[in-house]
Chains A and B, each alone.
Chain A
Amino acid sequence: MDHILSWICFLPLIGMTAVILAPKGNNTLVKAISLVATGVPFLLATWLYFSFDKTTASYQFVQRFDWIPLLGAQYYVGIDGLSIALIFLTTLLLFIAVPASFSIEKAQKAYYALLLLLEVGILGVFISLDYFLFYVFWEIMLLPMYFLIGIWGGPRREYAAIKFFLYTLTGSVLMLVAIVALRLDSGTFSIPEMMNLARSGQLTGASLPGGGQLIGLEFATWIFWFLFIGFAIKVPVFPFHTWLPDAHVQAPTPISVILAGILLKLGGYGMLRACFPLVPTAFRESCFALGVLGVVSIVYGAYVALGQTDFKRMVAYSSVSHMGYVLLGFAALTEWGYYGAATQMFNHGTSSAVMFLVVGVIYDRAHHRDLNGFGGLAQVMPRYWALTTLGFFAAMGLPGLAGFVSEAMTLVGAYSAPDPVFKLFVLISVIGLVITAAFLLWAIQRVFLGNLNEKYKDYTDMSPREIFCQAPLLFLCVVLGIFPFFLLDWMEPSVVQMVDFLKTAGS
């Protein structure tokens, strides 16, 4: 199984071809192909997860050969503890997204083909160790997303899709500039080799015109901020977040699930894989700014979510708040902070996916998302109520559920950061915890409790298909809350190495 990563990554591509070649009008076949094309990678990823060597921080399942010799770009893939969990999450969420999409009627062939292409792009980003390859997959991912929002979205889908596209494209352009500069300076696209150069302090742009300086700023600082903004848009970090509510609100439910569950993680993962380790000195100098952005995202996102009346917008802003923890954990530069941030990415992937599925369930029935327009649904949809409550409490970070582990580790890590100002950050972000509880409880109250609106009297409870979509995610929320070592053990060596690297490299 030397090529397992390539198989996982490109099987959906085969599925996509099959979907395109499927006879016109046979939507059942298309759905079946999509299920298989996402299910097999999921099984492979599960196998991969458990055959992963937890004791080493080095890259595993590596494949490396020249791809475009002219540029020096290689097909260089491999995984370590930072990416393995996210690969598993990606395959799982895509596998869930397929049945969650069964209610979509419009142009199904194209829809599933794009969905599978999206999976290729996402998985490619997670396995790439070559920056050129990374960028190519990054861009591959962008296009299907644009069409998936722009064609299958809500009433203002064009606006949302273009906003999403322009935002992420801006980020990509900044990234591209930085990548070119890094390539020129280091002479390689390989991320591990760039890291080696950065470790010995050689990646300073001294070989470039200007001798490592540009308009009075260090080369590394430019690179850092270009890459950081590129990834921060994806995360999204305040103030680059405004594409998110629009994209989420307009996107169809399964796309929201993928968007919140995985695409946001790409930003965090990108920072960890392809931004901080390349310019560690600039990163260390910017920790304070990153911490501020993280805290602002946490508190601000929570407050804005509290002020929403649209169910999906509320959930979207809660993502801003939750992803703030990731940034705060990174900025803290402690092992706990990194464990917290890395697990938070996974746990937010499950809990936010559940929340969007929850919104999708009610939207499919009521065709609106106005929180004030519901009420008393617990009476007609008790199962829905139970699952929603569990999902919301997982998102709230209640102990015993997965969110608590990551949030607690992040906050503890941030509190023990070398910079004492992070103590203040933790104190402020705790406000976010309370507000998060407030808006989630308020949402539960407004949707499920109180008097039942006569309009909703005949609503059926969740169908088995809908339960099937949510159950594995909720299961993960519970299991990872009780046994967090199913995540932490896997990432431990890599996190230890990464934190050590970031603390010491380049100085």
Chain B
Amino acid sequence: MEPSSKIFYGALSLLTLAALGAGLVAAGAEGLAFGLFSVLTLGGALVCIWERSVVRSAFSLMATFLGIAGFFVLLHADFLAMAQILIYVGGILALILFGVMLTPPDLTERKISRVLGGLVVFGLGFAWVGMRVAESATWAVTEKGPAEGVNNAKRIGVGFLAADQYVVAFELAAVVLTVALVAAVYIARRRRADLEPMEGQGGGA
């Protein structure tokens, strides 16, 4: 492991402990869970950006997706949490891994200065903007929490199919998905004639 990574992972570990502790102090068990999930989410994303290898990045992204699923559970959106794990972890991530495997590894592309610079510039920028927004914003929330014990999956199912709700959008989404998949297959179809000149060097697949 190179030195810069050592520092990075060290810092990340410290951040994890800080987040967990802060969560526990702030809101007890729920806070602890929140801290854990946010560490999973943001940490996964950070590792994803940091890591030199695409495979590792992809797997760290899985942590992000899992963390978000956790958030969904905390927010009483259990169906969504399940869908998140199924689709993102099971589908999209798998797709990305296919992509990773179909393309050759390029270990030279990561420039540490770039990554650090980007993190600093955009992190600072977003942090500043976010803070100012947080100061001034009033969120449109009903202070009382959500009703407990509602069957989320059923509500969503009804929402999809009820004529006055989301049936059209649902159908459209289905069509878009179908078309997109067909299109993806079509685009990815390798046309020999187009690629003759590159046959020698690019035949990774």
Touch between A and B in complex, CB under 8 Å? no
